[in-house]
Structure 1
Amino acid sequence: MELDNHAKRSMMARVVVITHEHDKFLGKRDSFLRMTSPYLLFDILSELKRRGHSIRVQQGVSHSHAADIAVLHVDATVTPEVYVDYASRFPFCLNVEAADISKRRVSGALLKKDDGWQGPVIVKSNLNNRGIPEAFLNRQSERAGKPRPFPDVSTLEAYDIYEAVGDIPDDVFDRDDLVVEKFIPEIEPDGFAARFWVFCGDHERCFRYVSPNRLVKASETIRREPVTVPQELRALRQELGFDYGKFDFVVHEGRAVLLDANNTPGRPRKLAKTFAAGASHLADGFEALIRQSR
């Protein structure tokens, strides 16, 4: 029995999660006085802690690199270089190569003005989630009496859909903060569909969600079904450097098209129980990464 316990202890890892110094990875306690979080990673870490791993959230950079494995989890479209440098000094760090999730880097539906696309289009922020995470960090920094970390970022309104490229305002293609994409949801008799692939190491789940809304969100759907992950997306995940995260994509004319990649995926409040239920499977993937790092 002592040998078994020793073997178990030898498998336990010290895990550190690197967040922005003004991020709120941990939220308020719920009605049962349990700590909550808006992030999917929280559920995975809770399961890892239950299994005996040591978990620490590091807000901002430090001089210490005392951990077996780290996760770079800065909720911003482009992770500041100081965080990437800090994360790179750990023995192994998840997502250190996935520090830029801007639409111009990850989207497979981007359009240029002279591409000749004849279908509907959507105008989006080049930033993840319309720049809301950066705006939050700016406010938190100002409240702490520090400079805004993203001084040039402004939050954009909801995405606009146009029936043709010619309907777009003239200056859109000239703006650095906006991108134009083909609007290509999967059309269903009862709505529109998109696919969401969540992964951690070699463990994953991928579902196709159908919504009555043209912009498909997992929290506003009428049904869902499991689907396989196209091989071209697996290759793209490797190219973009993702160890953990979420890809939003569609299958258009037989080809998988990545629309969004997120290295700090959230856990929608309406689906919190569903996401938490899948945390054990993703935690298995995390433990496989721990073994790989050793």
Structure 2
Amino acid sequence: MARVTVITHEHDRFLGKRNLMLRRGSPYLLFDVLEQLKSRGHSVRIQQGPSKTHGADIAVLHVDATTTSADYVDYARGFPFCLNVGAADISKRLISGALITEGDAWQGPVIVKSNLNNQGIPEILLNRRSKRAGKPPPFPHLQAPRPYEVYGSLGEVPDDIFECDDLVVEKFIPETEPDGFAVRFWVFCGERERCTRYVSPNSLVKASQTFRREPVPVPDEMRERRRELAFDYGKFDFVLHEGRAILLDANKTPGRPQNLVKMFAAGASDLADGFEGLIRRAR
């Protein structure tokens, strides 16, 4: 049996509050995978912030922020094997396959997003908790979040958008359906995976706001991007556009939508199999 350490930010709340049944919950998908691993005899420890010790066989770098600071990465590299140690930056400028610039020839609609994952909300929460703890904010230059904005063409985007380092402009290319719009979500851990196409009435597709789901294969382009971005565990959001798979978002700390908790938990056993495959590889 293996000893597993999960490295989180010192101000992260990987474990939520206990419910009426005195059970722990979590907003993260990894929680369900860890519960499976514990049921199989593995031990799990949550390490909040870097430490001087590396008492585990395998670790997971699970810092819920767009960019993981060097001290966390250096600590993670001290373990015999650490998942996602090479995936320290998931900013849109690094991962997105739909980015366009001010002078691009693209004629279709565009969307303005934060360069940060999840609009920078994880960084905002970490700054708040750090302040309550009497410590300096880990992200002192954080800009206020702004909602996604869709424009009919590149020419409609205000000029100052392109001067903002915290914003990016992408082609707006959801897969269109007669009854809505679709995006594909690929969740993986080691060699185990599931890839699902979600259809929503909203053009900005969220897994929690969909009315139809179907399994789909993983394109070779996405597997190559996963290798390039050094992801052992995570979730990729992508679309098929003009016959090509386009990565829109890469998440190293995927969550569990509240209305889909049971569905996500049901797939945790397979992901735990993938985690055990990584344990064997580490040994």
Q: Which residue of 2 aligns with 1:236?
A: 225
Among candidates 156, 165, 169, match of residue 167 of structure 1: 156
Residue 82 in structure 1 maps to residue 71 in structure 2: yes
Q: Distance in 2 between matches of 1:275 and 1:70?
A: 22
- Unaligned 5+ segments in structure 1 are 1-11
Q: Which residue of 2 aligns with 1:3?
A: none
Q: Which residue of 2 aligns with 1:152?
A: 141
Q: Distance in 2 between matches of 1:137 and 1:183?
A: 30
Q: Which residue of 2 aligns with 1:92?
A: 81
Amino acid at match of 1:228: P
Q: Which residue of 2 aligns with 1:140?
A: 129
Among candidates 241, 266, 277, match of residue 252 of structure 1: 241
Residue 274 in structure 1 maps to residue 263 in structure 2: yes
Q: Distance in 2 between matches of 1:152 and 1:270?
A: 34
Residue 108 in structure 1 maps to residue 68 in structure 2: no
Shift of 1:136: 0.4
Q: How many residue pairs are counted as aligned between the two chains? A: 283
1:79-109, Cα deviation, whole Å (9 max, x unpaired): 0110000001110000000000000000000
Q: Taking every aligned residue pair, what percent have the same amino acid on both sides? A: 72
Residue 262 in structure 1 maps to residue 257 in structure 2: no
1:98-123, Cα deviation, whole Å (9 max, x unpaired): 00000000000000111111000000
1:37-75, Cα deviation, whole Å (9 max, x unpaired): 000000000000010000000001110001000000000
Structure 1 segments of 4+ aligned residues over 4 angstroms from their partners: none
Q: Distance in 2 between matches of 1:176 and 1:70?
A: 33
Q: Distance in 2 between matches of 1:247 and 1:185?
A: 15
Moved more, 142-151 or 26-35: 26-35
Shift of 1:190: 0.2
Question: Which secondary structure does the structure 2 equivalent of 1:74 belong to?
Answer: coil
Taking the TM superposition and a 5 Å limit, the aligned residue runs for 1:1-294 are: 12-294=1-283
Q: Distance in 1 between matches of 2:264 and 2:176?
A: 26
Question: Which secondary structure does the structure 2 equivalent of 1:131 belong to?
Answer: helix
TM-score, normalized by length of structure 1?
0.96
Q: Distance in 2 between matches of 1:155 and 1:137?
A: 14
Shift of 1:30: 2.0
Amino acid at match of 1:214: S
Shift of 1:33: 1.5
